[in-house]
Amino acid sequence: MQNPFPNPLAERFGYTHELLALLTPEEIKQYVLHYRWEQANTSFPDNPKSVYKSKAYYMYRTNQWVYDAQKLLTEHGKIKSDENEVIDHEK
């Protein structure tokens, strides 16, 4: 089964945090949906020969990417249109 959510960072190279900073909020949401779908639908061997091929490692790595993307989305939500003044919605 193919992921219905395309990865907006496909075919781009560089540090993930720098690439995420270039995305629009809608693209960041697409990125999160892409990895959430992958996490739910990717299969793994029962006894991988390498820890890097295990489900645990994959979940650790992708959860960090999703967390970083969601953190960036939160920051986008706190920045006014002039991008100079930060709004704290928690007050």
pLDDT in tens, 50-63: 999 999 999 999 99
> Tell me: the pLDDT tens digits for 4-42?
999 999 999 999 989 999 999 999 999 999 999 999 999
Phi, psi of 16 (to 5 degrees): -55, -45
This prediction's pTM: 0.79
Task: Report residue 82 as tokens.
Answer: 């002039």
Domain layout of the chain by residue ranges: 16-78
Cα distance between residue 3 and residue 23, in whole Å: 20
d(CA 51, CA 49): 7
pLDDT digits 0-9 by tens, 65-89: 999 999 999 988 876 444 544 444 4
